[in-house]
Structure 1
Amino acid sequence: MPDLSFPIRVGIVGAGAIARTSHLPALLARGDAVKVVAVCDLDPGRAKELADAYDIPGRYTESTDVVARENPDLIAVATPPVAHREAVITALGAGAWGWCEKPPTLSLAEYDEITAYEKDGGPTVGHGIHQMDLLLNLLGDWHEVHAVAATLGRRTETEDVSFAIVRFACGAIGSSVNSVMSPRETSCLRFDFTDATAEAEHLYGHDNSHWRWTPAPHVSDTGRIAGWAPDENTTQLAFHPARHAAGRHGSR
């Protein structure tokens, strides 16, 4: 893997919606720390359109050309899953980091091919990644992690359950449980703050209707409680740590 210096040179493989709405905005938000040097897509018109929109100089139709001509430190793989294996192996084989959308591959055999180049992560990380994303979005960067992973019930060479205790830079402490063994295949989030607990349980996506709020005994203002729920699904929780003392929170 490269010895990173700033700015980190990034190539994006796949110019579809996930690259446009998620990967590219996240990269550009890093400011001078990141330089997106190329966009690659099988459709040259789509690659050009995305590159033109953000003034990205390189435009390619093959990931091999990206690594050969642009010398990236990181390849962000935002293609459909069928193309993940080839793009990730191309990145790792060239000595770059690979940042891949989930699922990483369509089979364990393809996953084994990738691990021959670089071992990192596993299925339970993908299972709970969106809940982790929400925690990071609301609570900011993590500072310290203590974790354990194990294979308890599945015939696989990677873990099927993992646990972590995370200390965030803001002072909050979180617990995270990720499992592909749970008969109840739902995601649960709970945020414990000074004034209330906010909880949600959902299966493959949630909106405002999934959230419930339990005020602390000392909170009795019904008008204030009624105003906690966000007006739009795009609005973050009203219990942002900037407004309330950071408490414990957990996700699964």
Structure 2
Amino acid sequence: MSTILNVAVVGCGIGRSHIVEGYLPNADKFKVIALCDLDADRLKTIGDEFGVERCITNFDDLLAMDDVDIIDVCTPPGVHYSMVNKALEAGKHVVCEKPLVGSLQQVDEVIEAEKRARGKLMPVFQYRFGNGIEQAKAIIESGIAGKAYAGTVETMWRREAPYYAVPWRGKWKTELGGVLMGHAIHPHDIFTYLMGDIARVFGRVATRVNPIEVEDTISASLEMKSGALASLTATLGSVDEITRIRLQFENVTIESDHAPYNPGHALWKILPRTDAIKEQIDALLADWTDVPPRFQTQMARFYEAVQGQRPLPVTSADSRRSLELVTAFYHSSTTHQEVVLPLGSDHPLYQSWVPAAFR
């Protein structure tokens, strides 16, 4: 008989998606018993919708609840650091939306806190999960794909004035960045998940689309540690919306489904170079087990990790790699120089990439 873990969701915006896609489909594993939000009307609406009676506005009250096993942080990015640390100190397991925190220094401090904590910490990168990306990962990890040659990532989304009417969006202090932090961070994570670590970055950021503090258009040239080359481009000014990841290997070309917010779900385009390679791929995927997309699989695997049955599906180290790319982007764009990774405590933006005027 499995043990059901009790969850408190903090922030009822994206937090609602965590409930609908993550916890309800895994009702044999999780039960949402508490909600926390500063918006009392939204709190009541979500509480009524899901039958959650314990609805509070003070985050610290959750920490004292002995029956809460997991605190799921779905707040604006600017408060992630304090909430994650407090929850770990209280002995809770923690799920935290992206970005995990707001600097490399903060993520290193969280990693150290995690080592001392009783609970486990899982950052959210729900786009990693689904049949398409899982099959691509299996082909690459099996060695069938061969040497990596090149890759491209296009995050072409659309955000206009109504999106930025939410007070914390588009501002350095509360969002901690723009398209790099809130949007392209997902496809970029998928890219490194499949292609490995980045060695060098030359990036540009610009505010081209909206009258906001942070960037909404970016582009970069990368050299991977494997020697492969890649380019990343994103904008929030696209007319239509797509997320496209195309990877070229020695033996296969892999291209994602173009669905902007669920690229891992549908099967990806897999083009083998020869019939012999196709036969190897067919054999590898012959007994494929369906992988539900997004939060459903990420939360299910988190449960298994908490039970000691598997490693965490996403780790704080994954978040550090993601934030390292963000830091390199901002530094390269400001200095007009290539940035060599990894970045340590001696990097000029280690403590913060947020411009001094906005801290």
TM-score by length of 1: 0.54
1:19-168 mapped onto 2 (5 Å cutoff): 19-69=15-65, 71-119=67-115, 129=125, 132-135=128-131
In proportion to residue count, which structure has more strand? 1
| Distance in 2, Cα, partners of 1:121 & 1:6 | 19
SS at match of 1:15: coil
Instruction: Decide whether the 8 Å contact of 1:189 with 1:201 is kept in 2.
Output: no
Which residue, 195, 215, 232 being the options, matches 1:185?
A: 232
Identity %: 29
Q: Say which SS state the counterpart of residue 33 (structure 2) adopts.
A: strand
TM-aligned CA distance change 1:90 to 1:132, over 3 Å: same
Q: What secondary structure, in the 3-state scheme, does the structure 2 residue paired with 1:118 have?
A: helix
- 1:199 aligned onto 2:264: no
Give the CA deviation at 1:65: 0.6
**CA distance in structure 1 between the aligned counterparts of 2:262 and 2:111, rounded to whole angstroms:** 33
Instruction: Determine helix, strand or coil for the equivalent of 1:9.
Output: strand
Is 1:245 matched with 2:310?
A: no
Return the letter of the residue paired with 1:185.
L
Using the TM superposition, give the Cα deviation of residue 111 of structure 1 relative to its aligned residue in structure 2, in angstroms. Answer: 2.2
**Distance in 2 separating the partners of 1:121 and 1:66:** 17
Q: Which residue of 2 aligns with 1:13?
A: 10
What secondary structure, in the 3-state scheme, does the structure 1 residue paired with 2:101 have?
Answer: coil
Rounded to whole Å, the distance in 2 between the matches of 1:24 and 1:137 is 22
Distance change in 2, residues 1:178/1:45 (3 Å):
farther
Structure 1 position 81, deviation (Å): 0.7
Superposed CA deviations along residues 124-148 of structure 1, whole A, max 9, x for unmatched, are x87xx45522348866xx9xx99xx
Return the offset for 1:37. 0.8
Give the TM-score normalised by structure 2. Answer: 0.40
Q: 1:8 to 1:51 in 2, by over 3 A?
A: same
Determine if contact 1:38/1:70 at 8 Å carries over to the other structure: no
Q: CA RMSD in A?
A: 4.3
CA positional deviation for 1:201? 8.3
User: Greater helix share, 1 or 2?
Assistant: 2
The C-alpha deviation readout for 1:207-249, integer Å capped at 9, x for no partner, is 7xxx75648988xxxxxxxxxxxxxxxxxxxxxx9xx7258xx
Change in Cα spacing, 1:78 to 1:176, as seen in structure 2 (3 Å) is: same
How far does the alpha carbon of each residue in 1:97-126 deviate from its partner, in whole angstroms, 9 at most, with x for none?
11111111112233244233204889xx87
Determine if contact 1:37/1:70 at 8 Å carries over to the other structure. Answer: no
The question of whether the paired residues in 2 share the 8 Å contact of 1:11 and 1:72 is answered with: yes
C-alpha displacement of 1:54: 0.4
CA shift in 2, pair 1:24/1:77, >3 Å: farther
* Number of equivalences: 176
Structure 2 unaligned runs (5+)? Answer: 143-188, 202-221, 223-230, 234-243, 276-281, 289-359
Structure 1 residue ranges without an equivalent (≥5):
147-161, 163-174, 191-195, 219-240, 248-252
Q: Distance in 1 between matches of 2:80 and 2:20?
A: 17
Quickly say closer, same or farther: Cα 1:246–1:75, change in 2 above 3 A. same
Q: CA 1:138–1:115 in structure 2 vs 1: closer, same or farther (change >3 Å)?
A: closer
Contact 2:71/2:92 (<8 A) preserved:
yes
**Residue 116 of structure 1 aligns to a residue in which SS?**
helix
